[in-house]
Chains A and B, each alone.
Chain A
Amino acid sequence: MSESGVLERTDATGRKAALRCEGVTKAFQGVHAVNGATFDVPEGQITALIGPNGAGKTTVVNILSGAMNCDSGRELIGETDVTNWPSYKIARLGLFRTFQLSRELHGLTVLENLLVAPADQAGESLVNVLVRPGLIRRQEREHAERALQVLDTYGLYEHRDTRARELSGGQKKLLEIARAVMASPKILLLDEPMAGVNPALIELIGGHIVDLKQSGVTVLMVEHNLNVVEQICDYVIVLAEGRTLATGRLSELRENTDVVKAYLGEVIDAGAAH
């Protein structure tokens, strides 16, 4: 278990960092949402980012994915410094994300949502559209076949021709993960993938996340459901007031008085009250 050093934490998992966040800060009109967050996300593992409401978890995910610029600090993907790169460039390095509130491409069908994801599509070039329709058709067919397989895996096959806005909340969560999978991610940031989802679906999504890990994807997930964290996450980062409070395995963190006081205690108390 560690409370400060980056190297110490990667040693704790015995793996190198796929994603590194060094002293990142972000303030909104003087309010520090993130205040020096420092952590590593170990390669090929599922890491949970937990903390009380307002700890800065979503802001960190937004900064890491390029949706928001940080005020100071550094972000590294592998050895590449990607601090304040735009999202599309970060995505091209293999880092993809889902959103706290599902953001489906509502006017497109479920299948089309997945077909947007693959990189380097020949048909996105105006010249190719005009002079190489055969190449585009071939590539579209390949992508569509793969997309149908992914939809099948995620239980959305029957909805492939449905407009994405017509899906239920749980299905939209699955669609977001399936869409990110279609982009062949190396690192996947999941912002509360289990929020507002029924227990059966939680188990299903959890299973898919474990499958992703087994296929070599590094996962960082913001999650409040500690049962899920306990069951599927290898490593936990605790944020509080925009800082990294502690990192390690959940079982170790339960012994940490600072963590219990800042977050776990609240959760345990809330659980007891029910």
Chain B
Amino acid sequence: MLYYVFTLVFFCFDYFILAMGLNIQYGETGILNFAYIGFVAIGAYFTGVFSLHPAGHSGQHYILGLGLPFPINLLLGGLATMVFALIVALITLRRLRTDYLAIVLISLSLVLYDFCNNFVSLFNGADGLYNVPEPFAKSLGLTVNSFIPFFACVTAAVSLLMWFVMSRITRAPLGRTFRAIRDDEVVAAALGKNVFGMRLKSMLVGSFYAGIGGGLLMQFGGSFNPTAWLPGETFVVFAVLIVGGAGNNIGMFVGALLVETLLIHLPAFLPEIPGHPGLIEYFDNAVVGIVLMLMLWFRPEGVVPARLRRTASFGVSARGDAEPDLTIAVAAHE
């Protein structure tokens, strides 16, 4: 029972991290990154190959194999994802906007998927990486059962740290400029903001979160293969973001809890319907799709909508004696 609960806890916090990364790109800056799951995979694979020892006669084929300990491998996995994002961003972000950018990115996701699947010497092809060492398992003497709660707690701690950092970014002028670009990039540029530079920053930060989230997935399961990152998986993260409330970091946690934990993973632990093995799991994606449509129709701002930053939050107090300007009041009712 404890195993099940902590597995759900892990996925909730891991998708919290993934959703925060997508939120800064899409919810805050308006970059429609349909290749997001590809960045997650890059993070997972690199965390794996940084952790594994050289392939040798293990039966697997992969690059690097540096045998680095956790969390150094995880951080380097995040950084490797940023490097990949930098290359992608330099090619796509300067000239492409909105739907054109989305088309190119989803194509990139498909190319990356086929490339990793077929170029076996990179990340072991369709078999993916496995037998990745479990962090601290040897030093703390963790068993298979005790590792799950332990690593779920590690993931929760990492996600809270990353939430703290992300909150700083989104509350700072940097976050405000991201939102200005999301609302109208022509206006932002006319106000002296380097739109490409800012979108690049957002892309890199979001990709780091994708890489860390992917790396934690790799470390939790000890394996990662192409079935874990089918290009359609990007839309699960989008569902987390939309259900939770784009533009709100707390909303990302709520979205991760509702979509990833309750709708995607919890059904796997429910008792089978007699005579219909696996039926419940098959309904997962359909239910997510229905929830997504209902949210977009009835509550597009999400369960926890983006909050307005009011005057007091800037450390200044509003004067109490302000009289409404009648001229403007007239104009307001035109």
Contacts and interface: CB of A to CB of B under 8 A. Distances in A.
Interface of A: 65-67, 86-88, 91-92, 96-97, 99, 103, 105-109, 111-112, 115-117, 119, 121-126, 129-130, 133, 136-137, 140-141, 143-145, 148, 152, 155-161, 163, 167-171, 174, 179, 183, 197-198, 200-201, 204
Contacts of B180: 105, 108, 116
B176 A198 contact: no
Given A91-B191, A96-B192, A144-B311, 20 more contacts: A66-B189, A67-B186, A87-B186, A92-B192, A97-B190, A103-B187, A116-B180, A116-B191, A122-B173, A123-B174, A126-B201, A140-B173, A141-B314, A155-B328, A158-B322, A168-B331, A169-B331, A170-B331, A183-B191, A200-B327
Interface stretch (B64-72, B95-103, B164-172): B164-172
B177 interface: yes
Nearest to B191: A117
A140 B182 CA distance: 21
B184 A105 contact: yes
A112 B308 CA distance: 9
A2 to B, nearest CB: 30
A144 B188 contact: no
Given A145-B316, A158-B322, A158-B324, A108 B205 contact: no
A200 B331 contact: yes
B316 A91 contact: no
A115 B311 CA distance: 11
A115 B183 contact: no
Nearest to A138: B315
Contacts of B330: 198, 200
B118 to A, nearest CB: 36
Nearest to A169: B334
A88 B194 contact: yes
A86 B328 CA distance: 35
Interface residues of B, number: 46
Given A97-B190, A119-B192, A198 B316 contact: no
Contact of A161 (B165, B247, B308, B331): B308
B183 to A, nearest CB: 4
B328 A156 contact: yes
B168 A86 contact: no
Nearest to B194: A88
A225 B25 CA distance: 43
Given A115-B173, A116-B193, A105 B308 contact: no
Given A144-B314, A158-B324, A107 B331 contact: no
B276 interface: no
A5 B314 CA distance: 51
B108 interface: no
Q: Which 10 A/B pairs are nearest by Cβ-Cβ distance?
A: A123-B173, A91-B192, A170-B331, A144-B314, A155-B325, A141-B315, A87-B189, A123-B172, A105-B183, A155-B328
Contacts of B183: 105-108
A186 to B, nearest CB: 12
Interface in B282-334: 306, 308-311, 314-316, 318, 322, 324-325, 327-328, 330-334
Contacts of A115: 173, 176, 314
29 contacts: A88-B191, A88-B195, A91-B192, A92-B192, A99-B187, A103-B186, A105-B184, A105-B187, A107-B179, A107-B247, A107-B306, A108-B179, A108-B180, A108-B183, A112-B179, A116-B176, A117-B191, A122-B173, A124-B173, A126-B174, A129-B172, A140-B314, A141-B316, A161-B310, A163-B308, A167-B332, A198-B334, A200-B327, A204-B327
